[in-house]
Structure 1
């Protein structure tokens, strides 16, 4: 049987998939775990950047339905509801995992098998602060364009978490 020739693009893709590390970010907030979890989930609308949405019109608010398989969506100014995630794990006040249902072209992905996950852990420290650790993983599930998405969320989570931290500290 003749040996199959692998193209350079296929070889690069395989190497990239093997090397793909999850996006990991962390910060410490001046709040207990219950408050940090609440602000991250129930009060996401108070800190999520208004520019970070996939709707067709400006965003009015972000909603996180606090339960397993709860929806995560934005209400848009044109009256539409724009889904962009689902709650995978809901374990207040220590763990929140959501399916990132956004395609690399910044549209909604209904198939959970083609979505990455964002896990956020809240760990108390002895000094009353909380370590918040975010891991955005399985980005390769998005298929073509996953590397661009990896690059975007790697930089994007920095600013988003800064806004979250500022809101926790102010609340």
Structure 2
């Protein structure tokens, strides 16, 4: 099967929300205060009981890391692009084979910011990885990543109210 057909069968996940904050505050909150708003249950390796912190190292090559109370760490991925306050992209290693997440923060009028997410690279995954349960049942194939990103962006929006 050619790559174009395969990519069409595994389209990126795209989601958008608008938050009640200016672009700089939105970007800084999203990237600098993950543990305050990210729904760690179920969207992490360790869950809220085990996690002491979640940190994003703000540079190309930096990692997004959850650190547990016992000192253990788990990486969510590595930053590929760092462009504050407009956005960033990173590998997403929670899927097994890395995919890529891009976040864009677009200023709107009246202290509003549009947050755009694109999770792509699904063509890299084997069928069993696409079907595998992640934080939610169903994997990519069953819509779990769509539901998951929707929950995550809603949590972020609520945090900024």
Distance 1:18 1:131 in 2: 26
TM-score (norm 1): 0.78
After TM superposition, give the deviation of residue 145 of structure 1 in Å.
2.8
- Whole-Å separation in 1 of the counterparts to 2:6 and 2:148: 21
Equivalent residue runs for 1:1-171 within 5 Å: 17-51=7-41, 52-55=43-46, 58-103=50-95, 109=96, 114-148=97-131, 149-150=139-140, 151-169=143-161
1:48–1:62 contact (8 Å) kept in structure 2: no
Q: Which moved more, 1:127-136 or 1:142-151?
A: 142-151
Query: Greater CA radius of gyration, 1 or 2?
Result: 1
Larger deviation, residues 94-103 vs 138-147: 138-147
* Cα contact 1:62–1:73 (8 A) shared by 2: yes
How many Å apart are 1:15 and its aligned residue?
A: 5.3
Q: Is the 8 A contact 2:11 2:122 kept in 1?
A: no
User: How many residues align structurally?
Assistant: 150
Please, what TM-score do these two structures have when normalized by structure 2?
0.82
Q: Is the 8 A contact 1:139 1:146 kept in 2?
A: no
Q: Secondary structure at the match of 1:90?
A: strand
Unaligned runs of 5+ in 1: 1-9, 104-108
- Rounded to whole Å, the distance in 1 between the matches of 2:129 and 2:14 is 16
CA contact (8 A) 1:62 1:72 kept: yes
Distance 1:96 1:80 in 2: 26
> CA RMSD of the aligned region, Å?
2.3
Asked if 2 retains the 8 angstrom alpha-carbon contact of 1:140 and 1:147, the reply is no
